[in-house]
Amino acid sequence: MVSFRLRDAVKVLFALGLSLSLSAGALAQTITAVEVIGNKEISSQYIASVFGLSPGDPFDPQKVREGLRAVFDTGFFRLVDADTEPHDGGVKVVVMVVENPKVETFKIEGSTVFKEDDLKAVCMTTPGLIFNSQILRRDLDRIKEKYSERGYPFVNVRDVSFEGGNLVVKLSEVRVGEILVQGNKRTKEHVIRRYITLSPGDVFNSNMVRYTLNKLQALGYFEDVTVGFEPTESPDVVNLVVTVKEGKVGRAGFGVAYGSQSGWSGSVVYENINWRGLGQNVQVGAEFGGRERYWVQLEEPWMDERNFAWKVGVYRRFWEDLERYEGGELRATYDESKQGAFFGFGRKLGGDLSFYLTFDWKEVEVTVKSGDLGDYYRKQELLEGTNFTASLSLTRSRLDQALPYKKGDVETVFFEKALKALGGDWDYSKYGLELRYYAPVANLLSEVFGLPERKDRPAILALRAKAAFSDGEVPWAELYFLGGDSGLRGYRDDYFAGHEMFLGNAELRIPVDDNLSVVVFHDVGNAWNKRAGKSFSFDDLKSATGAGIRVMTPLGYVRLDVANGEEETRTHFSIGELF
């Protein structure tokens, strides 16, 4: 309802236009003058220019009606009329107007998403100026646009009143009623609901709906996820209907691989990513060959400000014929075994922050087969023993969760402490910082590669930097190792080892279709061993440049990279994105 009679004024306009009193002689006369009366704030020159008829024009009642409509449509006037009178051998057209009152006060009510001043900032309507209905209509459009830009497409203008100079716009924000979940035959309903970011009573937000869809689809539990809307008796309330179609969550994988250092190897892994429908991940695996490994792990990945994520597991690892290089020369070969158990838990701290604390107990043994790792490690009994560590990480994630691709930044500070007090043989500290950044590269696919752009899969520039340090007597097996598919590509596995390290990665990820991407990258990094008299230095970094492909499979992304290091070109094969 508009209590100021804009629609009534339109009726008056047409009534006046149709009943315009014209003498028979006026129809054949020429306009000799145009006069504007009744205006106080709006200039006569402006009104006459909008009216459109000038001295010398033939008098035409239809043109007069059109001119009156044009004047009224400026929005400044409550009433518009016209009359004629003889003048200088022709006819004078008198345009009579009644201006709208001035706006004394302007209020916007009903918004819970924005402050009133933020909405007024996009409006041209200003106290002290004449009320303009057309400007107000455009203001209302800009208010709706501001809502839409923030993901609120459903906002209604419930009422506009203008009485005594007081202009009041009343908004009505569409809210969420019930949230219904259907189609879940395996997954518990509470598991699905914890990923639904909207709650009953919230203002409907399409970004949050997209976020919910993306999170549920990314879980891998479902073959399909949709969100529908169900109208209610109230135009300001809408129900959400989340429909899922259960997918396969139990996967068994078998593989055979060959590495230039590790030789032939095989693997068998069973994983259930939605164990008992509770959203927990259970994994049992074994790898055979030069790098033998067995593990069992159960994990609850969900965390919020009230609920803890957790993980628990046991493992055994035996790696044969590992190589130690120094200055590009092979110094030693050795075997390394680790067996132990771990338990960890974490929780969100509010906003973008979360923490994770992990306790790890393991038996470690390094057996030198040829050459020497250094007298220091042997004399200080840093090759074999029991290690008990507590590791704490604090993460700030500002990734845009409403998008199906990564955009934003993640910062992680980590600290690990080995404790003799809890049964370990060593006492040392490791700590550092990791930074990650992801940004879509607009128009890269179409302008450079001639590929169609997709809003849901743009090219991504991904950057990572990691620096780490240590104090105390760090055993050989717990040093920082760089080289291979998990960090510094273009070099042998664990080619660099030390008490301090730096790693930098830059990748341009270019999607080709839903299941294939091409990547170009540049890596830099090094590890520095204090026992060899070396320390952290940005002037002493190794680098590699290369390209690769990513293929989506039921087990995730298969990654194949070819990197040209400073000494040789190497091929790396792995599962999942590097970071």
Residue-wise pLDDT for 434-445, tens only, equals 999 999 998 776
Domain check: are 168 and 204 in the same one?
A: no
What are 295's strand-pairing partners?
Answer: 285, 315
Task: Tell me, yes or no, whether 225 and 76 share the same domain.
Answer: no
Tell me which residue of 204, 159, 157, 152 sits closest to 178, measured CA to CA.
204
Alpha-carbon separation of residue 230 from 233, 234, 241, 387 (angstroms): 10, 11, 7, 58
DSSP 103: P
- Counting beta carbons within 10 angstroms of the beta carbon of residue 295, is it exposed (0 to 12), middle (13 to 18) or buried (19 or more)? middle
Inside any domain, residue 297: no
Q: Is residue 113 part of a domain?
A: yes
Whether 461 and 566 map to the same domain: the answer is: yes
Looking at residue 477, the DSSP 8-state letter turns out to be: G
Query: What pLDDT does residue 402 have?
Result: 73
Q: Report the percentage of the chain scoring pLDDT > 90.
A: 75
- The pLDDT of residue 488: 96
The encoded tokens of residue 518 equal 């091409």
CA distance 283 to 297: 5
Domain count, the chain: 4
The verdict on 28 and 116 lying in the same domain is no
Q: Is 132 found in the same domain as 179?
A: no
Burial of 463 by CB count in 10 Å (0-12 exposed, 13-18 middle, 19+ buried)?
middle
Query: What confidence tens digit (pLDDT) does each residue in 154-185 have?
Result: 999 999 999 999 999 999 999 999 999 999 99
- Domain-embedded: residue 402: yes
**Please, how many CA atoms are within 13 Å of residue 405, restricted to the half-sphere of its CB?**
19
| 28, pLDDT greater than 80 | no
- Full residue range of the structural domain in which residue 54 is found: 6-99
Position 291 in a domain? no
- Residue 375 CA to chain centroid, in angstroms? 51
- 244 pLDDT exceeds 60? yes
Together in a domain, 476 and 543 = yes
> What percent of the chain is predicted at pLDDT more than 70?
92
Q: Which residue has the tokens 């009156």?
A: 68
Instruction: Say which range, 9-18, 179-188, 310-319, 403-412, has the weakest mean pLDDT.
Output: 9-18
Is 279 contained in some domain?
no
Pairing of strands 480-482, 496-498: antiparallel
Q: Are 34 and 79 within one domain? A: yes
Question: What confidence score (pLDDT) does residue 291 get?
Answer: 84
CB 225 within 8 A of CB 242: yes
Same domain flag for 516 and 416: yes
Q: How far apart are CA 154 and CA 204, in angstroms?
A: 7
Give the DSSP H/E element, type plus range, for residue 323.
strand 309-326
SS3 528: strand
Mean confidence (pLDDT) of the chain = 90
- Domain boundary among the residues 227, 246, 265 is at 246
Three-class SS of 397-451? ECCCCCCCCCCEEEEEEEEEEECCCCCCCCCEEEEEEEEEEEEEECCHHHHHCCC
The answer to whether position 271 is within a domain reads no
pLDDT value at 32 more than 70: yes
Secondary structure letter of residue 577 according to DSSP: -
Q: Are residues 237 and 355 in the same domain?
A: no
Q: Tell me the pLDDT band of 201, cut-offs 50, 70 and 90.
A: very high
Q: What is the CATH number of the domain that holds 540?
A: 2.40.160.50
Average pLDDT of the segment spanning 230-235: 92
Both 405 and 503 in a single domain? yes
Examine the fold and report which residue of 173, 194, 226 is the final residue of a domain before the chain moves on.
173
- The CATH number of residue 208's host domain is 3.10.20.310
- 152 and 182 co-located in one domain: no
120 and 137 housed in the same domain: yes
Q: What is the pLDDT of residue 131?
A: 96
34 domain-assigned: yes
From 76, 99, 122, the end of a domain falls on: 99
Tens of pLDDT, residue by residue over 53-65, are: 999 999 999 999 9
